Structure 1
């Protein structure tokens, strides 16, 4: 399903496997009752619904689906009826940059599958909020933005992965998914303090995902 502004809102767990690779499913199986998975830009939360309904993943982590848009009231009512357990939450109507730790909770796993890191005009703030939510040794699974450009003050282009190298406190692992062609990125928190290099938006043009240009303010 495609929302009116042209982004997919119903990717399921198989889609996540194809995009992030089979290693992602292996990581999911390592999670248990004491863990917490946050899916940012979750759309209709199909991937998490598949996860909690599949006995293959047992025991299961607590899950929280986040999306800036609010689904239809009847769909929310359906989710509440199916998943009344505190182990499943759906928080909508607010951008991830504006959500607080005490509202969402700390996470062992954060996924962003063509979510805010691909669409937000404040990409650095998105990553900063993920870092705030991430537990020590926690991981962020995402994909490299495909039409996002970052330039330094001399107008020299910096690849997204090179920008991530400026980040203090996160180790980046990159793998090319054989099924989707997307470049899977796994960010591991390995320090207590995380510093995200600031970006200033130069321009953004609508698309799926949008074409964005940023300037690196510090390093």
Structure 2
């Protein structure tokens, strides 16, 4: 396969999963957060100013070093799902790197909100765009994924980290890989009265996952069919780009 990552600079994403600036809101009480309606969450997300230049070249630069090799090895029968994909520019560039789109893997872009005028190319069915909150998507009906990516996307912004992670691991094939690029400092998980873990350290405690990487550049390999994410309760969510969040494992 040719060096397709060099051919993608210049694409622009109008919506991706991370912002460069936002008006920070005060931290809210846990009880009120669980009562926030979907509409209010939508308004909260939309008020942020998001980075508009996430492309395939940047994915190759910021994700774990194994990502580019894993992407190049995907067969046409395999599936890449991108969480917080914006206008799917990375996946569009990937499919365009092939002389014939049918030689590329299936690609699914999860985008929180698309501009009404935007109509992504379908490449004879190779690319699908799923609009809306990932937590509500019927992922059990999707083709199983061999590669999942999240560049400051769902994992960084969700209020319901348990549901988001569980859905990801449920929709992955065994030996599938999940590449995350997220802040190493904005998410903590309290696993006991005296112990809180970073996102990467928490993921490493989940049976059936092999976790590699550091400083928020994470590679996760699913090593068994049934992976169970501990139930999590949201303790704090402070709006920012990305937000500061704390969760606790429910006994």
- Measured against the shorter chain, the TM-score band is 0.7 to 0.9
Is residue 127 of structure 2 the alignment partner of residue 88 of structure 1? yes
User: CA–CA distance in 1 between the matches of 2:195 and 2:136?
Assistant: 31
Is residue 111 of structure 2 the alignment partner of residue 67 of structure 1? yes
Query: How many residue pairs align between the two structures?
Result: 206
Is residue 55 of structure 2 the alignment partner of residue 12 of structure 1? yes
Q: Which of 56, 65, 80 is the aligned partner of 1:37?
A: 80
SS for the counterpart of 1:75 is coil
User: CA–CA distance in 2 between the matches of 1:86 and 1:116?
Assistant: 24
**Which residue in 2 is equivalent to 1:133?**
171
SS for the counterpart of 1:51 is helix
SS for the counterpart of 1:140 is strand
Kept in 2: contact 1:37–1:63 (CA 8 A) = yes
RMSD, matched Cα: 2.1
User: CA–CA distance in 1 between the matches of 2:210 and 2:145?
Assistant: 17
Q: Which of 179, 188, 199 is the aligned partner of 2:221?
A: 188
**Which residue in 2 is equivalent to 1:205?**
238
1:134-173 paired onto structure 2 within 5 Å: 134-146=172-184, 147-173=186-212
1:50-65 paired onto structure 2 within 5 Å: 50-55=93-98, 59-65=103-109
1:17-32 paired onto structure 2 within 5 Å: 17-32=60-75
State the 1:56 CA deviation: 8.2
Kept in 1: contact 2:105–2:126 (CA 8 A) = yes
Q: Unpaired runs of 5+ in structure 2? A: 1-13, 20-45
State the 1:153 CA deviation: 3.6
SS for the counterpart of 2:93 is helix
User: CA–CA distance in 2 between the matches of 1:48 and 1:84?
Assistant: 11
TM-score by length of structure 2 reads: 0.75
User: CA–CA distance in 2 between the matches of 1:195 and 1:145?
Assistant: 24
Residues 110-134 of structure 1: per-residue CA shift (max 9 Å, x gap): 1111111000011121110001110
Q: Unpaired runs of 5+ in structure 1? A: 176-181
**Which residue in 2 is equivalent to 1:178?**
none
Q: Which runs of 4+ in 1 moved over 6 A?
A: none
